[in-house]
Amino acid sequence: MPYIMKNPVIIPLAAALLSACTAAPQPAEPCDSRATAETRALYANMFRSAERGVMFGHQDDALYGHSWSYERGRSDVRECCGDYPAVFGWEIGCLELGAERSLDGVPFDEMVHLLCEASDRGAVNTVSWHVSNPQTGGSSWDCRTTAAVASILPGGEHHALYCAWLDRLAGFFASLRRAGGEPAPVLFRPFHEHTSTGFWWGEAQCTPDEFRRLWRFTVEYLRYEKGIHNLLYVYSPDLFRDAEHYMERYPGDEWVDVLGMDAYHRPGEWDFIEGCRRMLSDLQRLGREHRKPVAFTETGLEGVADAEWWTGTLLPAIADFGLSYVLVWRNAHDRPSHFFGPWRGHASEEDFRRFASNSRQPILFEGDLKDMYE
């Protein structure tokens, strides 16, 4: 210490090192340099909330649940644990066709109202898009062709059609307004599960370069051509072998905000806990390297046949990876066995409450959030 005190060169060096060690890291910025103030705040707060716990999400939670539909204020999650999910999932498939209802039969007007209402309460919204096959006219699951992606890229046969679809999406996103009039931020998750072969944009249906070009064009068109600046873009493949496989079709940091993954528990097909922890470990490392928040963007066990699935399977699978959120899929009101979340009276209801209040890996609900938009 006396030597440092007397040495004029080391004094500023020591001060600089001390400053570097104690200064808070600069928050990462959204990939859209013109993102709205609320969207930028949401992005920064996704990092901060992950330090407190994992936000719990549920698809279509505000729209319907097990045995009910379109009852304002209802929520299967809330009826089980006393609070709304922190993250609400929404699906806009068929919007591109000019339909008034989504592929799940949800009126888009109702969706807009409830999404904005959730945003006003401080919850986070994420939107998926099961987009129709532009080449065949079939659904997202129509994989009869390997040229659909190429056909909508600039110069492709169906490029103009795709631009018209994006125009409709832009109109939808522009219509999302919070109570103060500002655009409601949304985590937009296009072309998900591309490491599987279940969709026309999957890895067997297009080349890595075609996928990257499709992603970049989509973001570029919405951002620059349509002026949509309330979106954070989420990259979410399905199961992946390793970090190299995960990044094989990655379009670049300037086109992606959140690194996610989808993985469903299908007993007998794979070891869910071990497999998730392997992939989430890779995801956590990639998030740190690319300065992106990470999320488990879709998961669940259809029918939740295990009464202790929440604490016995999901919790050990996601603990300690610094996830921003985990989202389970929907509880269909018209298909009694098609549900992934909790509901009042189900055998796993009590276990879900234990999951919600556990101390090993804190789980955050809407009431636990600080203002995500400030």
Per-residue confidence at 186, pLDDT binned at 50, 70, 90? very high
Please give the model's pTM, rounded to 2 decimal places: 0.93
Is residue 14 scored above 50 in pLDDT? no
320: region left, alpha or beta (phi > 0 left; psi from -120 to 50 alpha): left
C-alpha closest to that of 327 among 131, 92, 120, 54: 54
Looking at residues 184-206, what average pLDDT do you find? 98
The 10s digit of each residue's pLDDT in 35-88 is 999 999 999 999 999 999 999 999 999 999 999 999 999 999 999 999 999 999
Residue 27 has a pLDDT of 57
Give the lowest-confidence range in 21-35, 178-192, 222-236, 299-313: 21-35
pLDDT at position 28: 81
At 317, is the pLDDT very low, low, confident or very high (cuts 50, 70, 90)?
very high
Q: What pLDDT does 24 receive?
A: 36
What is the distance between the alpha carbons of residues 293 and 199, in angstroms, rounded to a whole number? 25
Nearest of 197, 181, 254, 189 to residue 224 by alpha carbon: 254
Range 17-35 average pLDDT: 63
CATH entry 3.40.50.150 includes domain 29-368: no
- Mean pLDDT over 238-257 rounds to 98
Tokens of 88: 């609400």
Q: What is the mean pLDDT of residues 253-259?
A: 98
pLDDT of residue 101: 98
How far apart, in whole angstroms, are the C-alpha atoms of residue 276 and residue 265? 10
- pLDDT, tens digit, 9 for 90 and up, residues 278-290: 999 999 999 999 9
Where is average pLDDT lowest: 14-18, 39-43, 92-96, 97-101?
A: 14-18
For residue 6, name the pLDDT band (cuts at 50, 70, 90).
Answer: very low
> How high is the pLDDT of residue 250?
98
Q: What percent of the chain has pLDDT over 70?
A: 93
Residue 215 pLDDT exceeds 90: yes
Question: Contact 76/83 with Cβ under 8 angstroms?
Answer: no
Query: What pLDDT score was predicted for residue 369?
Result: 97
**What value does the mean pLDDT take over residues 201-209?**
98
pLDDT band for position 29 (cuts 50, 70, 90):
very high
